[in-house]
Amino acid sequence: MKEIKFVLNGKEVSVKADPLKRLLDVLREDKKMTGVKEGCGEGECGACAVLKDGVLVNSCMIPLGAAEGSEIITPEGIRDTEKGKCIIDAFGTAGAVQCGFCTPGMMMATDALLTQNKKPSVDEIREALSGNLCRCTGYDLIVKGVQIASERGKDLW
């Protein structure tokens, strides 16, 4: 057990845990950030996606100790921001949400993409979402959701 500090959704936090505990478990269990989902626990699905120091990563493969001192943003950290609302609304408009289990991760991937590329093409969107698996939608309407977010949010990113 160690006391480990990092910045979570803009606030400095400190967690007492084994540094080898998965960041995913720390976020879900210790910090009750259940917007971070576990779809596979093996890096395949992107349901556990968070931003670490500004880039998209899968929290199921990161031990807490490797996140020490870093800035972590979970779906809880962006859903109430202008950007988050924009993505959520766009997903709603497009019909991008079905069972919704993949969707918070999709929101994180969308934010990461739009941060890098304000006006991505369909191919670029599909590439950026390729690590976020969705079994319900077949992706078409998620791609559309990202397009709508990029259009509506052109002044946000």
Among 8, 15, 72, 148, the residue binding other proteins under the rule CB under 8 A is: 148
Nearer to ligand FAD, 42 or 155 (CB): 42
Among 8, 73, 83, 139, the residue binding other proteins under the rule CB under 8 A is: 139
Task: Dig out the tokens for 65 from the structure.
Answer: 């100790």
The span of 2-10, 42-50, 88-96, 140-148 binding ligand FAD (CB under 6 A) equals: 42-50
Number of helices (H) and strands (E) in the chain: give both, helices first: 6, 5
Strand duo 71-73 + 2-8: pairing = parallel
By the rule CB under 6 A, 102 interacts with ligand FES = yes
Alpha-carbon distance of 77 to 84, in angstroms, equals 9
Task: Dig out the tokens for 83 from the structure.
Answer: 């950007």
Indicate which of ligand FAD, ligand FES, other proteins, none lies near residue 89 (CB less than 5 to 8 Å, by partner kind): other proteins
User: Are the C-beta atoms of 141 and 94 separated by less than 8 Å?
Assistant: yes
Q: Tell which positions 36-95 bind other proteins, by CB under 8 A.
A: 36-47, 49, 52, 55-58, 60-63, 65-66, 68-69, 74-76, 79, 84, 87-89, 91-95
User: Are the C-beta atoms of 117 and 111 separated by less than 8 Å?
Assistant: no
